[in-house]
Amino acid sequence: MTDARMVGVSRVLISEEELRSRIAELAAELDAEYRNDFPIVIGVLNGAVFFLTDLIREMKIPLEIDFMAVSSYGDSTRSSGVVQIIKDLSKSIEGRRVIVIEDIVDSGLTLKYLIDNLASRNPADLRVVVLLSKWAIGQAPVQHDHVGFVIPDEFVVGYGLDFAGRYRNLPFVGVYDPKADSADLPG
């Protein structure tokens, strides 16, 4: 049976195996960095859920999780630049070590907004783990502490990343191809 999830995906950019292996490396780095600190890991809904759950299952230290939902893209492939909080954290982060988990940084507007917002709540410290970034560490317009993969400036989908709500359930990261997308898919 053909895989209907693939319609509109021109090629695989990062395979399941590459994701698994890099996420295990990131988990080991975080375990070493936060060994005795009981950090709060904050996932940015919706896209980062896939990365967060895979990452923390590879981590061996005690931790808590919480989530925020923000939206900047709507159904477009370009950021609107206007970030809205749709769901806030369920508890205070004051005095805690915070790890923010993002699936992708493109313009950096979403993450910049989040970091400023969370920093104003007085955490002990705040670090950022990004699975996919279009920017190398040190060149990004916003704080990145750990990056899974630096990717080219293409619109990517899968492993949590969507276009108009679709493609999140692909197990790999692929390049979205609007020309190949099919109007007769549901949704």
Task: Judge whether 145 counts as a catalytic residue.
Answer: no
Torsions phi, psi for 168 (to 5 deg): -60, -30
DSSP state of 6: G
Task: Give the residue, chosen from 8, 39, 43, 47, that forms a contact with ligand PRP under the rule CB under 6 A.
Answer: 47
* DSSP alpha helix (H) spans, the chain: 16-33, 49-58, 109-119
- Are the beta carbons of 135 and 21 closer than 8 angstroms? no
Q: How far is the CB of 24 from ligand PRP (least distance, A)?
A: 22
156 binds ligand PRP (CB under 6 A): no
**Residues 81-120 as x/- pattern, contact with ligand PRP by CB under 6 A:** ---------------------xxxxxxxxxx---------
Q: How far is the CB of 69 from ligand PRP (least distance, A)?
A: 7
Given 37, 106, 145, 181, which residue is catalytic?
106
**Cβ-based nearer residue to ligand PRP, 75 or 94:** 75
6-25 binders of ligand PRP (CB under 6 A): none
- Are the beta carbons of 98 and 126 closer than 8 angstroms? yes
* Residue 148 structure tokens: 């899974």
Residue 172, Ramachandran bin (φ over 0: left; ψ between -120 and 50: alpha; else beta): beta
* Residue 13 structure tokens: 């950019």
Three-state secondary-structure class, residue 5: helix
Residue positions annotated with a catalytic role: 106
Contacting positions for ligand PRP (CB under 6 A): 44, 46-47, 71-73, 79, 102-111, 162
